[in-house]
């Protein structure tokens, strides 16, 4: 059995949820998001984040603006849209349901 | 001293060593290729990643170290991950895996070599692949030609299946070198140098590098032996596939074309070609379909075997994933069609029909009757086909099959003289069996004292599966004098032909029917004696 594959699938499932979650606490640019994800060991290679951000932006969950930076060129700051907030609520509900379901099965 | 380049990435400027630059641009090229499918968003993703790369690079620049090194780039690529690691489905696309690991694995591929070819570059490409002088491979192909031409077949198959090395990258892979900018440059330079100075010893430097450390080379040698054993086993499987497949293919082609001696003494099939064999399964317009489906059912696994063998031996990857699905589908369809047709036809089969028509020959007025056979074919150039033990004369001219009937001459039970025509057909259904008999056409007539019988009965060329037969029986009353023309011999059954035509032929003489068969008539005997 290839558990790496299962783990990767699990991480992928929650990654998008976590990106929305991080952004719900305030606008951030890609490196901020990366740092938080890496702290909680949700991401292995950084490159994974960028396609996800772009896809969420294309899906209307995120928007971005350019902000001047004191060090180096302007940065892309991402923010949740109203759609994004609604999507996050939905995901939170199903996340709780999922945890309960898994717990109840494991504790039986 | 090292050459550095100035590059611009993610809105920042960097000094970079040349090897670092090559690593990075190789990485970015792969990213671009990967995300190209996503169009505008793809470009955006790559831009974002470039931005991140710039950030990470910046962290590595210090007062003491201004230029970005290859190690820095390797580090950064590790942090960002390879393209195949981005794909979170767990299955990595083989193409990316391949190009991502060029620096670790021997990615040698079999290509046809267009630069050193005699015919199609197959032998030269094989030589590059196995690192041996193509001369030996050419000799091997030549030797295999004498093995029933197997060499030619294998060569042609390889010529078709194996791609030609067009680009410099492919030519490098042919020799098993990693494909990157520096090796391409190396290869182009080497070729240039070779042409310029016509020197052959440019491999000396690599020879020298090899002899570094005795222990290291021992370990490497052991590893190489393991790899070689593994490759040998894989290769043996591939070659078995290829050889078995080729033999089956040759057998199928020979069967289809009518060469049957390959089956040796297998009597049931001896002399049967594949088209003939199919006749046993169908008797109507489905005949062609049955043959096509049968050939497909046999051919597809054979082709798959050969193709698989070649792929295993030469590590050929195909980008066409649908080929397998297509072949399997086609095979099942062909099998289904074949079985359906056989069942459908089989129920309507194995019935024989016989029809007999006896007519009286007018004798009263004629003391002497002449019996003759006339050639009723207008086409003088007929082809003889043989299906099982049946021989048909096929005339292209009227698309008919002509066959000789068999003639028996017997004694009549009464004073009348009769000719009976008995037609027999096989392999028909119960329905319309009489109509099938009518497909068989045979004619004879009587003009005054001359009875003329056609030499052939005939059917349409698509009716051969009936295996039609016609038996003629001529009943002669005791006192009737007849004269058989020589042409009658053609139709007489074997024993009567021997008796009446061979030793002392009765043809052309007046004969009568006796208890002991035909005898020369007394009057004639006397006249013969008198002449003596």
pLDDT in tens, A87-102: 999 999 999 998 999 9
- Residue B339 has what pLDDT? 85
B482: phi then psi, degrees, rounded to nearest 5: -130, 160
Query: Across chain A, what does the average pLDDT equal?
Result: 86
Task: List pLDDT tens digits, range B195-245.
Answer: 554 444 444 444 444 445 566 667 777 888 888 888 778 888 888 888 888
The answer to whether B312 touches B234, Cβ cutoff 8 Å, is yes
Q: Using CA atoms, how far apart are residues B464 and B457, in angstroms rounded to an integer?
A: 12
- Per DSSP (E only), the strands in B124-238 are none
What distance in Å separates the CA atoms of residue B484 and residue B25, rounded to the nearest whole number?
A: 101
Name the stretches of chain B with pLDDT < 50.
88-105, 197-211, 260-272, 282, 528-532
Give CA–CA dist B70/B67, Å, rounded: 10
Interface mutation target, options A8, A9, A11, A50, chain B, most CBs of B under 10 Å? A50
Q: Do A50 and B11 touch (CB under 8 A)?
A: no
Is A39 touching B (CB cutoff 8 A)? no
Q: Walk across the sheet containing B12-17 and list its strands.
A: B4-9, B12-17, B67-68
Q: What is the pLDDT of residue B388?
A: 64
Contact across the interface for B81 and A48, Cβ inside 8 Å: yes
pLDDT at residue number B208: 42
CB atoms within 10 A of CB B120: 18
At residue B126, the pLDDT reads 86
Answer whether B84's CB lies under 8 Å from B100's CB.
yes
Residues whose CB is less than 8 angstroms from the CB of residue B335 and which lie 6 or more positions away in sequence, other chains included: B293, B297
Q: Are the CB atoms for B368 and B442 separated by under 8 Å?
A: no
> Which chain A residue has the Cα nearest residue B9?
A73
Quick check: A50 and B35 in contact, CB under 8 A?
Answer: no
Max CA separation in chain A (angstroms): 55
* Angle ∠(B177,B179,B181) on CA atoms, nearest 5: 125
Any B CB within 8 A of A4 CB: yes
Residue ranges in B362-488 assigned as alpha helix (H): 433-438
| The pLDDT of residue B104 | 34
Q: Does A58 touch chain B (CB under 8 A)?
A: yes
* pLDDT score of B470: 92
Closest Cα of chain A to B332: distance in Å?
Answer: 33
Q: C-alpha angle with apex B189: B188 to B190, nearest 5 degrees?
A: 90
Q: What is the pTM (predicted TM-score) of this model?
A: 0.37
Q: How far is A93 from chain B (nearest CA, A)?
A: 24
Exposure of B94 by Cβ count < 10 A (0-12 exposed, 13-18 middle, 19+ buried)?
exposed
Residue B51 to residue A53, Cβ atoms within 8 A: no
Residues of A in contact with B85 (CB under 8 A): 44-45, 47-48
Q: How far apart are CA B23 and CA B166, in angstroms?
A: 25
Q: Between B11, B79, B81, which is nearest A72 by CB?
A: B11
The three-class DSSP label of residue B410 is strand
Contact of B42 with B35, CB cutoff 8 Å: yes
Q: With an 8 Å Cβ cutoff, is B90 touching chain A? A: yes
Q: Is the CB of residue A54 less than 8 Å away from at least one CB of chain B? A: yes
Residues of A in contact with B49 (CB under 8 A): 47, 50
């Amino acid at each position: 059995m290839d558990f790496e594959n299962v783990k990767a699938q699990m991480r992928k499932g929650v990654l998008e949820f976590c990106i929305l979650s991080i952004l719900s606490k305030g606008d951030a640019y890609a490196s901020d998001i990366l740092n938080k994800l890496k702290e909680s060991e949700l991401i292995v290679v950084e490159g994974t984040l960028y396609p996800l951000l772009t896809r969420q932006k294309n899906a209307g969950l995120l928007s971005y603006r350019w902000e001047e930076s004191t060090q180096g060129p302007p940065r892309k700051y991402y923010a949740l849209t109203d759609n994004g907030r609604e999507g996050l609520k939905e995901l939170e509900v199903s996340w709780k349901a999922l945890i309960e379901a898994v717990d109840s099965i494991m504790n039986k | 001293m090292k050459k550095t380049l100035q590059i611009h990435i993610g809105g920042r400027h960097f000094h970079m060593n040349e090897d670092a630059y090559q690593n990075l641009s190789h990485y970015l090229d792969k990213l671009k290729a990967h995300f190209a499918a996503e169009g505008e968003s793809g470009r955006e993703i790559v831009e974002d990643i470039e931005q991140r790369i710039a950030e990470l690079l910046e962290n590595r620049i210090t007062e003491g170290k201004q230029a970005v090194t290859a190690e820095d780039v390797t580090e950064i690529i590790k942090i960002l991950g390879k393209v195949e690691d981005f794909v979170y489905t767990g299955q990595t696309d083989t193409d990316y895996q391949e190009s991502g690991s060029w620096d670790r694995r021997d990615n040698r591929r079999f290509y046809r070599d267009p630069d050193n070819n005699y015919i199609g570059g197959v032998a030269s490409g094989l030589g590059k692949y196995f690192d041996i002088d193509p001369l030996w491979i050419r000799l091997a192909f030549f030797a295999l030609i004498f093995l029933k031409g197997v060499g030619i077949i294998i060569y042609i198959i390889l010529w078709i299946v194996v791609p030609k090395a067009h680009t410099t990258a492919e030519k490098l892979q042919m020799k098993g070198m990693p494909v990157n900018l520096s090796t391409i440059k190396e290869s182009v330079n080497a070729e240039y140098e070779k042409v310029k100075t016509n020197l052959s010893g440019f491999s000396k430097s690599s020879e020298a590098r090899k002899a570094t450390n005795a222990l290291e080379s021992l370990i490497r040698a052991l590893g190489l032996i393991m790899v070689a054993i593994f490759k040998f086993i894989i290769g043996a499987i591939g070659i078995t596939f290829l050889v078995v497949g080729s033999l089956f293919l040759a057998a199928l082609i020979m069967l289809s074309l009518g060469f049957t001696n390959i089956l040796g003494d297998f009597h049931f099939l001896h002399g049967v070609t594949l088209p003939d064999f199919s006749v046993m399964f169908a008797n109507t317009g489905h005949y062609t379909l049955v043959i096509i489906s049968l050939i497909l059912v046999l051919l597809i696994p054979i082709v798959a075997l050969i193709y698989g063998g070649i792929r295993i031996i030469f590590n050929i990857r195909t980008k066409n994933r649908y080929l397998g699905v297509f072949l399997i589908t086609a095979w099942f369809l062909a099998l289904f069609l074949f079985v359906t047709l056989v069942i459908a036809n089989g129920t309507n089969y194995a019935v024989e029909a016989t029809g007999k028509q006896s007519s009286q020959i007018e004798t009263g007025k004629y003391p002497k009757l002449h019996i003759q056979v006339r050639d009723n074919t207008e086409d003088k150039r007929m082809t003889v086909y043989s299906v099982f033990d049946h021989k048909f004369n096929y005339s292209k001219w009227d698309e008919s099959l002509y066959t000789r009937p068999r003639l028996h001459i017997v004694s009549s039970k009464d004073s009348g003289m009769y000719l009976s025509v008995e037609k027999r057909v096989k392999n028909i259904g119960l329905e319309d069996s009489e109509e099938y008999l009518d497909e068989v056409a045979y004619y004879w007539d009587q003009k005054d004292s001359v009875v003329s019988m056609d030499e052939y009965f005939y059917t349409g060329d698509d009716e051969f599966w009936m295996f039609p037969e016609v038996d003629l029986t001529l009943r002669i009353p005791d006192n009737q004098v007849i004269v058989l023309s020589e042409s009658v011999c053609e139709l007489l059954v074997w024993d009567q032909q021997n008796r009446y035509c061979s030793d002392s032929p009765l043809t052309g003489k007046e004969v009568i029917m006796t208890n002991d068969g035909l005898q020369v008539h007394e009057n004639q005997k006397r006249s013969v004696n008198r002449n003596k």
